[in-house]
């Protein structure tokens, strides 16, 4: 009886693995990314055009391996699925790890004086396979230009940099000592749409202009214009909290929260800013009827979108 039960468990596990593999083949999107966004097959179809298969392994003489598996991109942001595999006997437990993955876009200019950009770090995803010597990260990057330069059709170079543990044994692995890179081509088009809002928005005590608003199945991006010659590196303090209370209002009445800052760029010289965020879940951009930012709601009714 015990052998029969054991065989049943093995067969069920194998069936689940085959289903996951089949799902990835059909939709193109890795199940781990889809789980992160809390979606199913229908939602995966919405982003299928932004999936880039990579499946590149970097192996290092110190015994570590980095597996870059997939990129999910829209016009102004990208998310890279990466596995960090430690040598046998090294246990990677908990969530106190930071993996730095260099993500360089060929045509985006180098940092300019007076222009600052920041964003949240990578997310550790649920492993689910019981292996204690590996971690899976979702690393994100946004368009780091104050004018919001498109990533469509660009060349993306991926370079593992380092892994840092923030507590305990203070593990630190520097992959740049044996630098390796890989370049992929991002999709030419995306499934997002852009609206020209051109409406005033109150940012703290200052009035700025909300210009372009971009919506994709996985994110929202927008431009802000304030006064130039600003002495503050990051602009108005309230810009640091743009994602708090930011909501996409759907046609069916659902409210979808904005989850993470992918990138936020501010130009002191011109007062221009560009903000890129991830949404809490995968959405249909055409079903968004209004957007709330900093407690102010902007209707899209009557605005003509430009498709990606």
Domain boundaries, the chain: 42-185, 193-307
When pLDDT is averaged across residues 271-294 and rounded to a whole number, the result is: 96
Q: What is the model's pLDDT at position 146?
A: 62
What's the pLDDT tens digit per position in 156-176? 999 999 999 986 567 899 999
Judge whether 42-185 and 193-307 match in fold: yes
For residue 159, which of 108, 104, 120, 212 has the smallest C-alpha distance?
104
Q: What is the model's pLDDT at position 305?
A: 93
Lowest mean pLDDT among 24-28, 31-35, 109-113: 24-28
Q: What is the model's pLDDT at position 285?
A: 97
CATH number of the domain at 42-185, please? 2.60.40.1630
Sign of CA dihedral 98, 102, 105, 111: positive
Contact between 260 and 139 (Cβ < 8 Å): no
When pLDDT is averaged across residues 248-273 and rounded to a whole number, the result is: 94
Q: What is the model's pLDDT at position 128?
A: 63
Q: Token pair for residue 282?
A: 């995968």
| Proportion of the chain above pLDDT 90, given as a percent | 69
What's the pLDDT tens digit per position in 53-86? 999 999 999 999 999 999 999 999 999 999 999 9
Higher pLDDT: 229 or 137? It is: 137
Contact between 163 and 97 (Cβ < 8 Å): yes
CATH number of the domain at 193-307, please? 2.60.40
Q: What is the model's pLDDT at position 19?
A: 45
Q: What is the model's pLDDT at position 76?
A: 94
């Amino acid at each position: 009886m015990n052998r029969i039960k054991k065989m049943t468990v093995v067969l069920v596990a194998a069936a689940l693995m085959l289903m996951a593999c089949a799902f990835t083949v059909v939709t193109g999107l890795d199940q781990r990314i889809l789980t992160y966004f809390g979606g199913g097959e229908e939602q995966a179809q919405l982003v299928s055009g932004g999936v880039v298969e990579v499946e590149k392994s970097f192996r290092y003489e110190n015994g570590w391996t980095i597996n870059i598996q997939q990129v999910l991109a829209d016009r102004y942001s990208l998310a890279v699925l990466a596995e960090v595999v430690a040598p046998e006997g090294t246990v990677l437990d908990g969530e106190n790890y930071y993996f730095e993955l260099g993500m360089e876009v060929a045509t985006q200019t180098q940092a300019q004086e007076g222009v600052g950009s920041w964003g949240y770090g990578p997310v550790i995803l649920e492993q689910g396979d019981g292996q204690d010597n590996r971690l899976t990260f979702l690393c994100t990057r946004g368009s780091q230009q104050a004018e919001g330069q498109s990533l469509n059709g660009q060349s993306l170079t991926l370079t593992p940099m380092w892994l840092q543990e923030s507590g305990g044994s203070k593990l630190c692995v520097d992959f740049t000592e044996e630098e390796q890179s890989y370049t992929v081509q991002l999709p030419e088009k995306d499934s997002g749409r852009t609206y020209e809002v051109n409406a005033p928005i109150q940012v703290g005590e200052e009035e700025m202009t909300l210009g372009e608003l971009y919506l994709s199945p996985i994110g929202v991006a927008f431009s802000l214009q304030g006064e130039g010659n600003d002495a503050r590196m990051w602009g108005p303090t309230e810009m640091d909290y743009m994602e708090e209370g930011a909501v996409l209002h759907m046609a069916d009445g659902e409210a979808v929260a904005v989850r993470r800052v992918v990138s936020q760029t501010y130009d002191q010289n011109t007062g221009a800013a560009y903000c890129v965020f991830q949404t809490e879940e995968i959405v249909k951009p055409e079903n968004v009827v209004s957007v709330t930012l900093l407690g102010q709601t902007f209707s899209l009714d009557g605005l003509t979108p430009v498709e990606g």
